[in-house]
């Protein structure tokens, strides 16, 4: 997702439910427009591995963007909010 399409996020509390819903809707529209394309298994594994030691990872989610890392890692148009795995 490009920086200009994101809403400002309070990094202490995360994007909130409304922010996450909007982000999900935009992401799913891009996913559908791509023909439901995903990244190769190797790229997905590398993305998820980069998130493991990150201090922003809380359980299965990223505290900064609210995403579920395992799912977001499959989407080629998505990126990490701190630049660990750009699209």
DSSP string, 41-66: HHHHHHHHHHHTT-TTEETTEETTT-
| 43 CB neighbour count, 10 Å cutoff | 14
Domain count, the chain: 1
Note down the domain range covering 27. 14-72
State how far the Cα of 87 lies from the Cα of 80, in Å rounded to an integer. Answer: 8
49 in any annotated domain = yes
Query: Each residue of 15-72: pLDDT tens digit?
Result: 788 888 888 888 889 989 989 999 999 999 999 999 999 999 999 999 999 999 999 9
Distance CA 69, CA 54 (A): 12
- pTM listed for this prediction: 0.74
Residue 6 located in a structural domain: no
């Amino acid at each position: 997702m490009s920086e200009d399409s994101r809403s400002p996020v309070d990094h202490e509390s995360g994007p909130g439910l409304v922010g996450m819903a909007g982000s999900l809707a935009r992401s799913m529209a891009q996913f559908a427009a791509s023909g439901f394309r995903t990244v190769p298994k190797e790229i997905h594994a590398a993305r998820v591995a980069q998130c493991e030691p990150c201090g922003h990872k809380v359980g299965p989610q990223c505290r900064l963007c609210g995403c579920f890392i395992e799912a977001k890692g499959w989407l080629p148009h998505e990126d990490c909010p701190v630049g660990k795995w750009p699209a």
